[in-house]
Structure 1
């Protein structure tokens, strides 16, 4: 079972460790996140591929367009990853670390990973809506200028749409997060239980564990991509916005968004932004991998405290 928490640390310490590494990783991967959301929402150039999408971001917003909504993206990912990994770690402690892959284990792992992400999504979804609106808002005109700051976007949503506005797209987000993390954790576990890895034999490839991590996250991104497309279209839409929002489907209904996506873009429309989504996995996993394995030993050696709880007291 892939380690999502350090056994020498308690729940609070594991939450902070995963949250910190996830937030730093997202900061490095954020430009790809902007490209992904641009393509998924149907913004100019987004349907023409990653290169043309990048060209249109530069044309509309300049280089800073790749860093729109970066603060809120980092703020959101910290509790999301922290909660998700801390919860899954509690499940991982109840199963054998390594055993022959089997359906029962895979189903339980999928459900545990999905539930962990759903809990995190319920708490962080408003920030996801704000991030999406900030990214897709055009840079030109008074509306764009007032909405480029994520705090301004949040204030505008609350004043014009109320609480319902910041929870727009929650249902497809819950479905997508369940599929994503269920697939990711199941793929991790399956690959870690491959015959030569169970025997702890010499790996076939240098950095095999890291490569398998990238494969697992990329697979999860592709499997959940259709739902991710729909949820971002819905989050970027609102009756309070000009033309119902900055998307190609112009609707806040999930079912209408699905139908219009197919009518406008065909089946491939459900996979717009896939390349950017997979590319996002590489820097994010790389930073996470390095920090997640180095931070605990660094903190232990310097006996840093986590909040008011020293690491020595946070141990199980």
Structure 2
């Protein structure tokens, strides 16, 4: 806090955050999010379906492996089945990455007092990333609820399944609000807030690796890197964050699934542990890693290149 206060004194003691807003970070984030989503959405869809499969809900398809999921979806739902939920995913990824990068750069630059060569250290990097993640989630959670539900429409639902059918993103938003209120649009928000630690850990690792690398080379910490170096640091930071925080994504997806019924986050955690043990908290991890590793590499590279 002392660090932040000392920086704010340079602006007459006022929290003049708006002077640090750079909209190119918003554009870069949107570009990266949309591009990666269009290419990698099928893997995201499969990850969600694995994550919500608790082994006790008989009305949902069962997949034995990543290749089995691909072939089953293609056979039963066609190519369009692999892109269910892509519209809210594009909106969600584009807006989330755009807002996240804009908030993150604004907060980070404010803490640095406008001096990009000023190192923050792990704690302040995590603080900036966590604040950015929380702000972004507040604005985008309804889009992620819609995306999850559209991804979990399995074609012709069985007659025993009473789940609501949605015709698209707008229809889903309207039906969820009409039937469940604002609370329905913010399902999974609590584990999502806990999941802010994922982004915080990832960005702290990414920034610290870049800073350490440039310091090792005896260069200013804001020195631009080669494409291969950005890709390597992005992949490593994402793998570290995923290994540490993945279970929150399973809980969040299950709370947002309209085929399942939990009273809250703690109930979901207890039932997952009771019936599936630790393995249940890591369902969908393989397609998730296959999806997010190239995803984060594309997003971070586009961000770094467009904000040079």
Q: TM-score band, normalised by the shorter chain? A: 0.7 to 0.9
Match of 2:254 in 1: 233
1:285-304, CA deviations, whole angstroms, 9 ceiling, x for partnerless residues? 3432453355468xxxxxxx
- 1:57-80 Cα deviation digits (max 9, x unpaired): 234322222111111111112221
- Indicate which of 138, 151, 166 corresponds to 1:122: 138
> 1:89-130, CA deviations, whole angstroms, 9 ceiling, x for partnerless residues?
123323476789xxx821221122111011000011001101
**Cα pair distance change 1:33/1:207, threshold 3 Å:** same
Match of 1:105 among 117, 121, 126: 121
Retained in 2: the 8 A contact 1:121–1:174? Answer: yes
Q: Deviations over 1:242-280 (max 9, x none)?
A: xxx2x4xx3242111111111222101101111111111
Write the distance in 1 (CA, Å) between the matches of 2:98 and 2:239.
Answer: 20
Deviation at 1:10, TM superposition (A): 5.2
Whether the aligned pair in 1 keeps the contact of 2:43 and 2:287 (CA below 8 Å) is yes
**1:190 paired residue number:** 208
Q: How does 1:30-179 map to 2 (within 5 A)?
A: 30-42=41-53, 43-46=60-63, 48-93=64-109, 94-95=111-112, 105-141=121-157, 146-176=165-195, 178-179=196-197
Unmatched 5+ stretches in structure 2? 1-19, 54-59, 220-225
Cross-structure match for 1:15: 26
**Per the alignment, in what secondary structure is the counterpart of residue 71 of structure 2?**
helix
| Displacement after TM superposition at 1:133 (Å) | 0.7
In angstroms, what is the RMSD of aligned CA positions? 2.8
- Pick the aligned partner of 2:303 from 289, 292, 304: 292
SS at match of 1:152: helix
Residues 88 and 116 in structure 1, CA contact (< 8 A), matched pair in contact too: yes
Alignment-derived partner of residue 283 in structure 1: 294
Cα distance in structure 2, aligned partners of 1:98 and 1:223: 30
In structure 2, distance between residues paired with 1:145 and 1:59: 23
Instruction: Provide closer, same or farther for how the CA distance between residues 197 and 180 of structure 1 changes in structure 2, counting only shifts above 3 A.
Output: same
13 and 191 in structure 1: CA distance in 2 versus 1, 3 angstrom threshold: closer
State the Cα distance separating 1:144 from its structure 2 match. Answer: 7.8
Deviations 1:167-200 (A, max 9, x none): 1121111111x11111111110221233x53132
Sort the Cα spacing of 1:206 and 1:63 in 2 relative to 1 into closer, same or farther, 3 A. Answer: same
Q: Cα gap change, 1:124/1:274 in structure 2, threshold over 3 Å: closer, same or farther?
A: same
Which segment is superposed worse, 147-156 or 33-42? 147-156
Query: TM-score if structure 2 supplies the norm length?
Result: 0.78
Counterparts of 1:97 and 1:128 in 2: how far apart (Å)? 33
Q: Which runs of 5+ in 1 are unaligned?
A: 1-8, 238-244, 298-316
> What SS is found at the alignment partner of 1:128?
helix
Structure-2 separation of matches of 1:221 and 1:20:
23
TM-score scaled by structure 1? 0.76
* Matching residue of 2:57: none
